[in-house]
Amino acid sequence: MAVGADVCPTTGDPWPDAGPAVPDVRVVRVRADAAPDGADGSAERPFPTIAAALAGASGATRVLLADGEHEAPPRVEGAVTIRGRCAARAILGGPPSTAPVAIEGASSRVELVGVTVRDRGVRIAGATAALRGVVIARATGVSLRVSRSAAVELRDVFLDGTVLGAGVERGGLFVDGGATVDGERVAVRGTHRLGVLSAARVTLRDVTVRGTIRAAATESAQGAIAQSGGSLSLTQAHFEDTIGSAVLVTQAGTTATLSSCVLRRVTPASATSAGSGLTVSRGAVATLRGSLVEAAGGLGVYARDAGTRLELSLSTLRRNGLPATGALEVSSGNGAATVVAGVAITDTAGVALHATGAGASLRATSVRVERVGQDAMGRGARGLLAQEGATLTATDVRVTDVTGVAASAVSKGSRLSLDRVVIAGGGAPSTEPTFPEGVAVAALFGGAVEAARVRVARAHTTGVLAYGAGATVALEGSRVEGVAGRRDRAGHGALAVEGGALTLRGVTVREATGSALNAAGDGSRASVDGVVLEATRAGPTASGALQAQSGGVVEGARVAVRGNATGGVLAVGASRVTLAE
């Protein structure tokens, strides 16, 4: 960013370049140690202050600052350019003040070039302004406030730290009141509570927000917030070391687009909350593409509330959720709709893709999920999870190395749809004491799974599971192989238990340790057609490749049972197996 001492001119000329001569533009010079008597703004008789140089100006004025510290003017209006040689040498200072430098007036056209504004902020209201090569350091409250339909251009601007003041507004760049800001090469560091606020239109490219600071012990310190119908567009933005959320987009009518961005290291605001790389809520709309979200302390990306829309594409989410008590990677909740395409999700603690709450939907296409582990409380991980009435649809998705359950629909009204999904090494056993664990695909407690062209390889305790009354799994044109089981527990290729229901069409189950297909318990049912059960291995207890027990029912047609080291077809107790062909 071209605002430091390394970009200062090395020539002996004590004045900044005046630029080309422009008719009707008055050029004046200011040197802090100049004598006020006889000052006319020439190089020989410069004004001692900026205020003196602007006093009585009736037309466009270009103010050239000598190196050194100058008293900051309280107000700038009209057609004015204030130019220093560089921000490291030309300082607009004076005693620390809670009052910002005010740039105002609907007809004002103001430029600040190559200066540092120190110990105060800048407020631009209603004016057209440009800041180039400018540092605003140690402002009280807000570094740069843009409002009242102002139009501002930022180039090579550094907002360097804020000081807590009595007001409630604190942060780096605040834009509201119908204003517009267009910026490039902007850095925000060490501001309290917030880096960037967009309640109007903000477009920034090559922007860095780093190290936001809490104003109070339990407060958040977000990297950026878009709200109140504002529009935020970020390209090549880098957020690091924020608290609460790196980026929050909230309220109906608010939009945000993030392209080629990095959201890294987000700390939860408190012990009972989770950090988030990107949060979209309350009916807002956001797009994240070509970006990296890493080391968010809880949620990588989170969309919630009715009317909220999130599109996530061509991005990587990595190592999120690790410090949190309950972690999600991509979560769509309570009516929100999320679309995920071309995304890699790796090294997650908790849940990789999560849809929760009535009306919530999450659609994933061409997604890779790798290495999902337990959260900090030791609870089992989930790769794909739909629950509490939500819908999750996965197409061309690969899920590998999940500790717990690789893909599941949990609770009545929840739906998980799988098409061309590969689960490899899924459902590795966790330390979670509750059932289920070590499962590749599961419908639990009234959830429903519909799956086609799915391949399950190397599951641990169960390949496909329907557990509990109302839970259903419909699997078609799929393959389940290599279910390992445990030393104390048989494995199952496909299992309906406690009232769950399985429907298998054109499915092959190979190399399950224990049983390839089992319906166990009153009300549990398996309906099969065109199913092959082969190479079933013996487990720790006696079983059949196809088995019904404790009141379970298996019925269907065109079933092939072959090459098994266990019994072929087995009905135990008040159970029933009815097969044709």
Average pLDDT over residues 456-463: 89
> How far apart, in whole angstroms, are the C-alpha atoms of residue 441 and residue 467?
11
Rounded CA-CA distance 108/222 in Å is: 32
Query: Which of the four pLDDT bands, split at 50, 70 and 90, describes residue 326?
Result: very low
Q: What is the mean pLDDT of residues 18-27?
A: 88
- Read off the pLDDT of each residue in 445-474 and give the average, rounded to a whole number: 95
pLDDT of residue 97: 85
pTM of the model: 0.92
Positive or negative torsion for Cα 431, 437, 439, 442? negative
Rounded to 5 degrees, φ, ψ at 53 are: -65, -30
Q: Are 192 and 219 in contact (CB under 8 A)?
A: no
pLDDT interval class at 174 (50, 70, 90): very high
d(CA 167, CA 221): 16
- Which of 100-109, 267-276, 469-478 comes out lowest in average pLDDT? 267-276
Mean pLDDT confidence for 154-173: 89
The stretch 99-112 carries a mean pLDDT of 96
C-alpha dist (Å) from residue 166 to 373, 434, 557:
45, 52, 77
* pLDDT score of 1: 54
Residue 433 has pLDDT above 50, yes or no: no
pLDDT tens, 563-577? Answer: 887 778 888 887 899
- Min mean pLDDT across 39-48, 203-212, 264-273, 474-483 is at 264-273
CA R_g for the chain: 32
Q: 3-state DSSP helix/strand/coil percent for the chain, to nearest 5? A: 0, 60, 40
- Burial of 487 by CB count in 10 Å (0-12 exposed, 13-18 middle, 19+ buried)? exposed
Does the pLDDT value for residue 20 go beyond 90?
no
Alpha carbons 573 and 17: distance in angstroms, whole number: 96
Dig out the tokens for 22 from the structure.
């422009």
Of all residues in the chain, the percent with pLDDT exceeding 90 is: 72
C-alpha distances out from residue 160 to 53, 154, 560, Å: 28, 15, 72
Q: Residue 112: its pLDDT value, please?
A: 98
Answer positive or negative: Cα dihedral of 48, 50, 56, 58.
positive
